[in-house]
């Protein structure tokens, strides 16, 4: 019957068939194999699935054109050869101050500008039109101390900014350690990322979060945008007593409604990771766990009040009693619930397949770091197991059950946490030969489909020769498949040691400038080199490689 249907109708049917089933269909017989093999729609859906990207199909390109663009994009990332390179200068508002705040999302880069301002850049793209305003900085000053901001440009052309202002009528104080204490009020500002004006869809573009909050040393905040809601955590980083608390707020940025979700003992949480449309993860510094919470009431049409329900915890590997977690960074990109209408051509990484990177910092024996790398689907599976078995607030799941053999660990500092996009992560690699003494740059692809393809290429090349070095091209690419057995304690940090078990394909990236003054960010379309002064954090130039 299928052979009698027109191609257009077959393509419409293939849209609703999972790519794995399309591959299975090819195995049925010669006719079915040809049906799938010569269908641009079927091949495009299979390639999207294998590349770990999604396509909302809102653009007008044919499936054959989309397939060609996707294959070219993947080939550029796998070869380390960008389509174009662009250098953009960064004008600092403060010659003595570096960039402390930053965010990268939806083809936009935001950098802090002094204490009260920020700058936004639309980054060069493969799909720029001749009159595109990319490469042009837009500078904004709020006249108040900015403590954090977050871009959600792909959702709603949105940047959310948290500001603090000291209440002058309340005198300064000191805590029991002699650290300065102040009392501040906190506001959330909702702006258009493209224009810098108050967002036109927000009824109340300035929302008061807390009118009177005690702060030790300096105020801190973390922001996550989740659809119509902005989640803000106000916390103290330099508190060692039990008399201070941190607050988690949820703001409907369209209506301006602010809800206090929960309060926590200070130095419990610092940054949330959104795992799904209703599930967030908060690394707990006090218990050395990954705490899971479910959001309720996020459907704005029902006018319900948002609330948070604890769902239990995932244990991290036990640490020595000599160490305490004192801070962390964490990220997973892309986020959930994105709207592709602002980007009518580009595909984006699948949120479900994306990596989560968690970089904790430990004391007191110096500053010890151990960075966890895990796929988001592993955390979602563990969360589903925890919730189905115990419901609300169940016991924690040991690391050996959910993480051992499914994660990787790395050492070293993480200067820009936006070093990953989807399943790719940029890193220094001592494997790549260097003629200047520094450790060159590579991009590591943790996509299991790309790993299998690379291993298949190696097997065809090596055969029974026994080479087995994992190197596809000595100058460009190798495959790393960690084996069991070797456990690392990171200088006695972990009691039993941990294994790195995630395989990846590593590709060398050519860097023409002096990489000793460069650090890097990564998004779905490009690699961004950050050129800084050796003696300060000042950013002078961006070196952008566009892959598509």
Average of per-residue pLDDT values in the chain: 84
Strands across the sheet with 245-252, in order? 220-226, 229-235, 245-252, 257-265
Residues with Cβ within 8 Å of residue 464, at least 6 apart in sequence: none
Strand ranges, E, within 277-421: 279-284, 289-296, 307-315, 324-331, 348-349, 355-363, 368-369, 371-375, 408-410, 420-421
pLDDT at 341 over 60: no
pLDDT given at position 481: 86
* Ranges 252-256, 343-347, 474-478, 482-486: which has the least confidence: 343-347
Q: What is d(CA 472, CA 444) in angstroms, rounded to the nearest whole number?
A: 14
pLDDT-wise least confident of 79-83, 387-391, 432-436:
432-436
Mean pLDDT (whole number) for 119-138 = 82
Q: Which residue in 438, 409, 439 sits closest to 427, CA to CA?
A: 439
Per mean pLDDT, which range of 69-78, 197-206, 258-267, 335-344 is the poorest? 335-344
Q: How do residues 34-49 score in pLDDT, each as one tens digit?
A: 889 999 999 999 999 9
Q: Is the pLDDT of residue 97 over 50?
A: no
Q: Which residues pair with 478 in a beta bridge?
A: 471, 506
**Separation CA 380–CA 362 (nearest Å):** 26
Helix or strand or coil: residue 16?
coil
pLDDT class of 330 with cuts at 50, 70, 90: very high
Chain centroid to CA 529: how far? 17
The arithmetic mean of pLDDT across residues 427-436, rounded, is: 63
**Four-CA torsion 54, 56, 59, 60, nearest 10 degrees:** 90
Helix (H) or strand (E) holding 37: helix 30-37
Over 80: is that where the pLDDT of 94 sits? Answer: no
Phi, psi dihedral angles at 382 (to 5 degrees): -65, -40
Q: What is the pLDDT of residue 347?
A: 77
Tell me the C-alpha distance between 311 and 316, whole Å: 16
pLDDT of 468 above 90? no
Task: Using the structure block, give the residue that is written with the tokens 């595109």.
Answer: 132
**What is the Cα gyration radius of the chain?**
24
Contact 186, 247 (CB under 8 A): no
pLDDT of residue 156: 74
Q: What is the mean pLDDT of residues 148-171?
A: 86
Q: Is the pLDDT of residue 51 over 90?
A: yes
> 238 with 232: CB under 8 angstroms?
no
User: What pLDDT, on a 0 to 100 scale, did the predictor assign at position 196?
Assistant: 84
pLDDT at 95: 45
Closest Cα to residue 478, out of 432, 440, 437?
432
Task: For residues 60-77, give the mean pLDDT.
Answer: 90
Q: Is the pLDDT of residue 504 over 50?
A: yes
Residue 268's pLDDT is 94
- Residue 245 has, within 13 A of its CA and on its CB side, a CA count of 8
Q: How far is CA 126 from the centre of its chain?
A: 21
pLDDT cut 70: percent of the chain above it: 83
Residue 343 scores a pLDDT above 90? no
Q: Do the Cβ atoms of 140 and 161 come closer than 8 Å?
A: no
What pLDDT score was predicted for residue 232? Answer: 96
Calpha distance 357→368 (Å, rounded): 16
pLDDT of residue 157: 86
How much is the pLDDT for 338? 44
pTM summary value: 0.89
Using one digit for the tens of pLDDT, what is the confidence trace for 176-193? 666 788 899 999 999 998
Is the model's pLDDT at 406 over the cut of 90? yes
Evaluated on CA atoms 31, 32, 36, 42, the torsion sign reads: positive
Would you say 265 and 245 are in contact if contact means Cβ atoms under 8 Å apart? Answer: yes
Do 255 and 332 form a contact (C-beta atoms < 8 A)?
no
Q: What is the pLDDT of residue 171?
A: 76
Other CB atoms within 10 Å distance of the CB of residue 72: 13
- Evaluate if residue 170 carries a pLDDT over 60: yes
114 vs 506, more confident:
506
Lowest mean pLDDT segment, chosen from 29-33, 127-131, 464-468: 464-468
Between CA 75 and CA 47 the distance in angstroms is: 12
Mean pLDDT on 209-222: 90
**Per-residue pLDDT at 421:** 92
């Amino acid at each position: 019957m299928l052979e009698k249907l027109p191609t257009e109708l077959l393509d419409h049917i293939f849209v609703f068939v999972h790519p794995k089933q399309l591959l299975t269909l090819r195995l049925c017989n010669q006719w079915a194999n040809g049906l799938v093999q010569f269908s641009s729609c079927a091949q495009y859906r299979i390639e999207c699935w294998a590349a770990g990207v999604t396509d909302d199909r809102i653009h007008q390109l044919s499936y054959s054109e989309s397939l060609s663009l996707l294959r070219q994009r993947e080939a550029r990332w796998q070869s380390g050869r960008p389509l174009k390179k662009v250098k953009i200068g960064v004008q600092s508002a403060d010659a003595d101050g570096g960039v402390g705040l930053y965010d990268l999302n939806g083809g936009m880069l935001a950098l802090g500008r002094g204490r009260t301002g920020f700058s936004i850049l639309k980054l060069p793209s493969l799909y720029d039109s001749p009159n595109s305003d990319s490469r042009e900085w837009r500078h904004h000053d709020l006249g108040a101390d900015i403590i954090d901001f977050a871009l959600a440009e792909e959702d709603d052309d949105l940047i959310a900014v948290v500001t603090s202002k000291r209440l002058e009528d309340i005198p300064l104080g000191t805590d029991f350690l002699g650290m300065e204490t102040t009392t501040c009020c906190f506001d959330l500002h909702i702006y258009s990322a493209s224009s810098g004006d108050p967002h036109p869809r927000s009824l109340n573009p300035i929302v008061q979060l807390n009118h009177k909050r005690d702060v030790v040393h300096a105020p801190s905040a973390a922001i996550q945008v989740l659809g119509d809601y902005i989640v803000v955590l106000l916390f103290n980083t330099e508190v060692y007593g039990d008399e201070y608390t941190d607050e988690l707020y949820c703001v409907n940025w369209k209506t301006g409604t602010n809800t206090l979700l929960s309060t926590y003992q200070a130095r419990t949480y610092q940054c949330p990771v959104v795992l799904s449309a209703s599930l967030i993860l908060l690394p707990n510094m006090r218990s050395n766990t990954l705490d899971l919470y479910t959001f309720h009431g996020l459907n704005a049409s029902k006018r319900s009040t948002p609330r948070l329900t604890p769902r239990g915890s995932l244990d991290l590997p036990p640490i020595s009693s000599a160490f305490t977690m004192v801070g962390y960074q964490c990220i997973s990109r892309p986020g959930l619930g994105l709207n592709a209408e602002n980007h009518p051509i580009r595909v984006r990484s699948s949120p479900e397949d994306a990596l989560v990177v968690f970089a904790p910092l430990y004391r007191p024996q110096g500053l010890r770091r151990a960075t966890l790398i895990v796929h988001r689907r592993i955390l979602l599976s563990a969360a589903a197991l925890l919730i189905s078995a115990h419901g609300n607030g169940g016991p924690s799941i040991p690391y050996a059950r959910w993480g051992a053999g499914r994660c990787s660990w790395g050492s070293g500092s993480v200067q820009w946490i936006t070093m990953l996009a989807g399943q790719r992560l940029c890193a220094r690699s001592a494997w790549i030969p260097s003629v200047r003494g520094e450790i060159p740059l590579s991009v590591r692809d943790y996509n299991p489909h790309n790993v299998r393809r690379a291993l298949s290429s190696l097997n065809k090349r090596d055969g029974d020769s026994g080479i087995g070095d994992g190197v596809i091209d000595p100058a460009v690419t190798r495959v790393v498949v960690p084996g069991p057995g070797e456990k690392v304690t990171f200088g006695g940090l972990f009691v039993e040691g941990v294994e790195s078990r995630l395989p990846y394909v590593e590709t060398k990236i050519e860097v023409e400038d002096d990489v000793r003054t460069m650090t890097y960010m990564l998004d779905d379309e490009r690699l961004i080199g950050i050129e800084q002064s050796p003696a300060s954090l000042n950013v002078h130039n961006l070196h952008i490689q566009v892959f598509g």
